[in-house]
């Protein structure tokens, strides 16, 4: 066990088994913030009960954000999520819950699903003080789209003060290169209309490295090295109006545009020697410049009606996405600079999505009945052309790589839900039906696949509150996961001349059944989840010993069993020192047919996080965050353990209107991902992914204006997430 892991375990031990007593003052209201706790001084340590910054809602953790000292030094909401129990944010800012589930993001109870880059930019524009709370739902009911295996619901701060308000956030990241983030939020609240304008501009350079060692079938040893430098520019703008017609009727209209440009240079080498690594076999180098752009346009309309105990709402969306990308693939002999191969690609991708949904609810005594209907339609056209340099130095059309892929999908869904409270017990039950019609057409390959299927998806949950400090919940659900467009697209996407992945248009949707139980004692929350997924969508490597090409293909596994255990508990050691400890353990069993064998391994892994907050005089706050991930993997790969440590300092100025932050993330540059293929008789391959996540941060946030009103955010649909 490494020294770093021992330090993390020691902090976990201190925060849980501190040799002192605390006198806890019971919470007397349903708000997230509890009254100050009394203290008992023992020796040199003072332990206090921390304010109640979290609670359970139907078994889901609800974490207060604004005013929570744990997030005082967080620059934006992505950093808040990294420190939220049950949530993981990886080195590429991907968000996961319950292990490796990518959740849908909601704002004030409605989805705000975007492409991954657009979503990251939006979350970076939200400062912690703009957010009231975060709810993490790892087992959504049938009321929500069946695609949603998990939901993170972000509640924005609101009040009805009239006037205008503004907020500016500026971040500067520095390592070998620098990146800048700028966002401006303006709102104006009148008697009848709330206006919102949001704009952001991000610009900077990021780098990525890939290194691999592979022992080839002929016993030669090949080393792969790839370096990627990505200069990206991103601009987004949103404008909308929320009209309060009267106490019963409300309507809103929102428009948005997002524009991205990336100039990426990827260079690499293949260095091959004999098995003793004494004799050079070949040494090649490659260049892969990429010019990429994406333009998104979206329109959202929202109408709601409420009369006493009856509610009715309508949400409509249109989204248009256009992607363009041009690549050059140049492979040379490194010693002679002779061109070995040269091909070009020209990609055009267009996506159109239309959705509409109606939801209604009626409260009858202590019971509530809900029903809803949703229709969505998406059309994706993907045209990629490859041209290869021929022997007479002319580029000719390459029909073996080029293709036109068209994907159309329609989903009709309806649900019926029932909720009732019996004093301390609340129960929820629901049923959802989703009919999916899809056609995928790979024109050049001549493959047309049509599907039409109906699925019934039930859910049930029950929660019981023993008192203000004790809650217990149980939930069950069945979910469907449809393949996203990139998983279906049967094109080659190159990482290096001998390494690429291909989509599979024959992929089937997967189905997940799971049960979850959760228990809260004051601020200590523990949950346990167990489930089974059928027709699991995954990628697998296929190595060609004659050409040494390694390609990654998509397939469905028969099934996998999984379980997770998560617990978190904050402790206030002194009035200026808070520690929040988190522990998560995971179990995964895959039944994986691969080549001529079946591999079925039981994988156990765990993760430990410790977040320490020091509140110092003169409005200074210091935060130290440490995260350790044990060895993990799947039936084919071993993933080595890794850890990260972040340090940040925050200070407030001008009566808390101005906040400045200085931080250093991944201090020891220790968060690279190292993988090794388990079965050496098939392939001896090990590789490392490295991202430039070790960097200095300088941040400034300023609030201005005469109101604290926060307008409703744009609502988007889950189909938009499937464009990524």
For 407-423, what is each residue's pLDDT tens digit? Answer: 999 999 999 999 999 98
Task: Give the predicted TM-score (pTM) of the model.
Answer: 0.85
* pLDDT for residue 39 is more than 60: no
Partnered with residue 87 across adjacent β-strands are 97
Compare 515 and 33 and report the one with higher pLDDT: 515
**Ramachandran assignment for 28, one of left (phi > 0), alpha (psi -120 to 50 degrees), beta (any other):** alpha
More confident residue, 614 or 721: 614
- Reply yes or no on whether the pLDDT at 723 is more than 80: no
| Pairing between β-strand 151-156 and β-strand 104-107 as defined by DSSP bridges | parallel
Taking 60 as the threshold, does the pLDDT of residue 225 lie above it? yes
Q: Which residues contact 670 (CB under 8 A, 6 or more apart)?
A: 642, 643, 644, 645
Largest CA distance in the chain: 86
Give the pLDDT confidence score for residue 86 in this predicted structure.
87
**DSSP SS3 for 256:** strand
The confidence score (pLDDT) of residue 484 equals: 85
Find all residues with CB under 8 Å of 28, minimum gap 6, and list them: 35, 468
Per-residue pLDDT at 90: 86
pLDDT for res 30: 35
Which listed CATH number (2.40.40.20, 3.50.50.60, 2.40.170.20, 3.40.630.30) goes with 3-721?
A: 2.40.170.20
pLDDT in tens, 327-382: 999 999 999 999 999 999 999 999 999 999 999 999 999 999 999 999 999 999 99
Can you give the pLDDT at residue 137?
92
For residue 638, pLDDT beyond 60? yes
- Give the pLDDT of residue 302: 92
Could you report the per-residue pLDDT of 568-580, keeping only the tens digit for each? 988 888 999 999 9
Where residue 303 falls among pLDDT bands split at 50, 70, 90?
very high
pLDDT tops 80 at residue 18: no
Q: How far apart are CA 17 and CA 411, in angstroms?
A: 52
Within a 10 A sphere around the Cβ of 44, how many other Cβ atoms? 7
Say yes or no to pLDDT of 189 above 50: yes
Q: Identify the residue with better confidence: 378 or 111.
A: 378
Is a pLDDT exceeding 90 seen at residue 108? Answer: no
Measuring CA to CA, which residue among 689, 619, 676 is closest to residue 650?
619
Average pLDDT over residues 259-268: 94
Percent of the chain with pLDDT over 90: 63
How many angstroms separate the first and last alpha carbons of the chain? Answer: 39
Q: Average pLDDT of 468-494?
A: 89
User: Given this model, what pLDDT does residue 159 score?
Assistant: 59
* Percent of the chain residues past pLDDT 70, beyond the cut: 89
**Mean pLDDT estimate for the chain:** 87
Q: 186: helix, coil or strand?
A: strand
Instruction: Quickly list DSSP for 293-353.
Output: EEEEEEEEEEEEEEETTEEEEEEEEEEEEEEEEEEEEEEEETTT--EEEEEEEEEEEEEEE
Q: Does pLDDT of 35 surpass 60?
A: no
Q: Where are the beta strands (DSSP E) in 390-487?
A: 395-397, 403-422, 425-442, 447-465, 470-481
For residue range 577-605, what is the model confidence (pLDDT) as tens digits? 999 999 999 999 999 999 989 999 999 99
Is residue 418 classed as helix, strand or coil in its secondary structure?
Answer: strand
Q: How confident is the model at residue 614 (pLDDT cuts 50, 70, 90)?
A: very high
Give pLDDT tens digits for 46-95.
444 445 677 888 888 899 998 888 898 898 899 999 999 889 988 888 89
DSSP state of 130: G
pLDDT over threshold 80, residue 154: yes
Could you tell me the pLDDT band of residue 130, with boundaries at 50, 70 and 90?
Answer: confident
Mean pLDDT value across residues 391-399: 89
pLDDT at residue 42 above 50? no
Mean pLDDT, rounded, for 28-52: 40
Take residue 119 and report the two structure tokens written for it: 């979503």
Helix locations, 101-258, DSSP H? 116-124
């Amino acid at each position: 066990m490494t020294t770093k892991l021992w330090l993390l375990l020691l902090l976990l031990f201190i925060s849980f088994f501190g040799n002192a007593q605390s006198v806890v003052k019971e919470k007397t209201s349903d708000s997230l913030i509890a009254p100050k706790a009394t203290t008992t001084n023992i020796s040199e340590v003072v332990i206090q009960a921390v304010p109640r910054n979290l609670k359970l809602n139907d078994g889901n953790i609800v974490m207060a954000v604004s005013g929570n000292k744990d997030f005082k030094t967080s620059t934006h909401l992505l950093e808040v999520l990294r420190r939220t129990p049950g949530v993981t944010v990886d080195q590429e800012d991907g968000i996961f819950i319950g292990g490796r589930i990518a959740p849908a993001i909601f704002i004030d109870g409605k989805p705000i699903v975007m492409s991954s880059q657009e979503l990251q930019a939006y979350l970076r524009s939200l400062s912690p003080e703009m957010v009231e709370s975060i709810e993490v739902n790892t087992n959504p009911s049938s009321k929500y789209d069946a695609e949603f295996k998990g939901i993170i619901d972000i509640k924005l701060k609101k009040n009805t003060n009239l006037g205008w308000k503004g907020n500016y956030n500026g971040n500067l990241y520095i390592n070998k290169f620098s990146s800048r983030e700028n966002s401006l939020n303006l709102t104006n609240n009148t008697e009848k209309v709330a206006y919102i304008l949001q704009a952001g501009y991000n610009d900077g350079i990021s780098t990525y490295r890939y290194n691999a060692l592979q022992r080839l079938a002929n016993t030669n040893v090949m080393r792969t090295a790839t370096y990627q430098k990505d200069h990206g520019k991103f601009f987004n703008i949103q404008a909308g109006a929320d009209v309060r017609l009267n106490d019963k009727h409300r309507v809103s209209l929102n428009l948005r545009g997002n524009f991205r440009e990336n100039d990426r240079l990827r260079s690499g080498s293949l260095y091959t020697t004999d098995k003793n690594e004494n004799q050079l076999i070949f040494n090649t180098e490659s260049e892969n410049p990429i010019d990429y752009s994406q333009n998104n346009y979206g329109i959202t309309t929202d109408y709601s009606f409420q009369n006493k105990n009856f509610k009715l709402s309508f949400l409509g969306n249109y989204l248009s996405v256009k992607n363009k990308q041009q690549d050059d693939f140049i492979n040379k002999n490194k010693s002679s600079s002779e061109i070995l191969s040269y091909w070009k690609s020209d990609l055009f991708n267009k996506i159109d999505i239309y959705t509409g949904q109606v939801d209604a609810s009626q409260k009858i005594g202590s019971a509530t009945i809900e029903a809803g209907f949703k229709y969505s339609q998406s059309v994706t056209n993907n045209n990629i052309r490859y041209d290869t340099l021929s022997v007479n130095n002319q580029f000719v059309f390459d029909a073996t790589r080029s293709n036109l892929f068209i994907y159309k999908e329609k989903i009709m869904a309806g649900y019926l839900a029932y909720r009732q409270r019996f004093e301390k017990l609340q129960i929820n039950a629901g049923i959802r039906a989703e009919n999916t019609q899809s056609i995928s057409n790979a024109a050049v390959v001549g493959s047309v696949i049509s599907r039409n299927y109906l699925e019934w998806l039930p859910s049930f949950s029950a929660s019981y509150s023993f008192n203000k400090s004790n809650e217990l919940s149980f939930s069950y659900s069945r979910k469907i996961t449809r393949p996203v467009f990139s998983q279906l697209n049967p094109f080659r996407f190159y990482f290096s001349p001998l390494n690429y992945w291909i989509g599979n248009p024959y992929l089937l949707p997967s189905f997940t059944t799971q049960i979850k139980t959760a228990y809260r004692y004051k601020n200590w929350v523990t949950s346990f989840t167990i489930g089974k997924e059928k027709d699991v969508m995954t990628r697998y490597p296929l190595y060609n010993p004659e050409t040494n090409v390694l390609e990654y293909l998509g397939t469905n596994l028969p099934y996998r069993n999984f379980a997770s255990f998560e617990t978190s508990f904050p402790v206030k050691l002194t009035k200026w020192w808070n520690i929040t400890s988190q522990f998560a353990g995971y179990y995964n069993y895959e039944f994986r047919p691969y080549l001529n064998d079946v591999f079925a391994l039981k994988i156990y892994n765990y993760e430990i996080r410790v977040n320490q907050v020091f509140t110092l005089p003169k409005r200074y706050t210091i935060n130290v965050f440490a995260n350790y991930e044990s060895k993990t993997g799947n039936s084919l790969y071993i993933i080595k353990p890794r850890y990260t440590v972040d340090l940040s300092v925050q200070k407030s100025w001008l009566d808390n209107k101005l906040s400045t932050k200085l931080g250093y993330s991944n201090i020891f540059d220790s968060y690279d991902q190292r993988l090794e293929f388990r079965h050496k008789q098939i392939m001896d391959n090990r590789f490392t992914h490295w991202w430039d996540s070790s960097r200095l941060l300088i941040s400034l946030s300023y609030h201005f204006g005469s109101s604290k009103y926060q307008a409703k955010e744009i609502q988007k649909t889950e189909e938009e997430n499937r464009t990524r």
